[in-house]
Structure 1
């Protein structure tokens, strides 16, 4: 079953997310939508959500701050989990459950006739997730600064995800490593693309070549 974020990926590329959100909120939302659209990420998120009861917005938060070089401590992750749990259980989970239930017939109403209702529910679910994302940003305001070493970013993202799963009581050997590595790879991929130009070379290699005399 697709997570509701998937329904907004195409729209994300053609219009701004909201007109009244702050820059940081908008940036975080755009990151979540872009990462979720990357190859293998949707499947990874759904696997971790449905098999291990992980929160997709928290998974994406781990990736976002890790991309910026921020290591989340177990205490910070536990605080984030406990802070959003009431909203998730009261708003997001029931809306998602209803959306999924309407993919099956309800009495004489078949799924096709209920599609317009499911579409409205998708919008409500996404709005609820955006509320949770904005709340997570408030919790992140006082985190430590960035680690400037680009080579460490993948390890930081991976560490954030592993610490989150530990906070949820999941043993490491139970985790689907392919799902975690898909999240890590797609999170750091834009960082290295930014370092490359149209010729596919990183800045250091291009500078070295420019200093080499022609034969």
Structure 2
């Protein structure tokens, strides 16, 4: 799996109008991993799905819990600090957080065992489901549909 292609897709999709806002809402609401969700959309656009979503979650869990989340918490803690030097440090932490997220994408690329999929959104639906998150099925379906529209994704690989 081409790590650079995955990262370019992730950055491009996250930058589309409304995508970041909805992804961050889901992250805050139920602990969704935005990188994982965007990776699932990437796979679907390639006509693929992961053999096991659970194995991918396991592959990134330690990295996410011990690197990404602490960096995010540190960055957020400094958000309202009025000191210029604190804001300068916050920008460095933000850059490190972004780099850590890119490393998570690399972990996903290395860990995925892709299988063919005729449904370009099956992987995203498998990840964003009531089986994984404290959400109703309708909430999951609506979020996936909204993201598909906002990202302008193709309905067939």
Q: Do they superpose with TM above 0.5?
A: yes
Matched, 1:71 2:49: yes
2:125 maps to 162
* Residue aligning to 2:75: 99
* Residue segments in structure 1 that go unaligned for 5+ positions in a row: 1-22, 193-215
Could you say which residue in structure 2 is the equivalent of 1:122?
A: 94
Q: Deviations over 1:5-61 (max 9, x none)?
A: xxxxxxxxxxxxxxxxxx811111100000001122111110110101010110101
Name the CA distance, whole Å, in 2 between partners of 1:174 and 1:51: 15
Provide the aligned C-alpha RMSD in A: 2.3
Displacement after TM superposition at 1:173 (Å): 3.7
Q: How many residues align?
A: 154
Taking the aligned partners of 1:164 and 1:101, their CA distance within structure 2 comes to 29
Gaps of 5+ in 2: none
Which of 125, 132, 140 is the aligned partner of 2:104?
132
Residues 137 and 112 from structure 1, CA distance in 2 versus in 1: closer, same or farther, beyond 3 angstroms? Answer: same
- Indicate whether 1:90 and 2:62 are aligned: no
1:172 aligns with 2:136: yes
Partner of residue 62, structure 1: 40
TM-score, normalising length: structure 2: 0.85
Greater gyration radius: 1
**RCO greater where, 1 or 2, for CA within 8 Å and sep 6 or more?**
2
In structure 2, do the counterparts of structure 1 residues 174 and 85 end up closer, same or farther at CA, with 3 Å as the change threshold?
farther
Aligned residue runs from structure 1 range 12-91, under 5 A = 24-73=2-51, 76-91=52-67
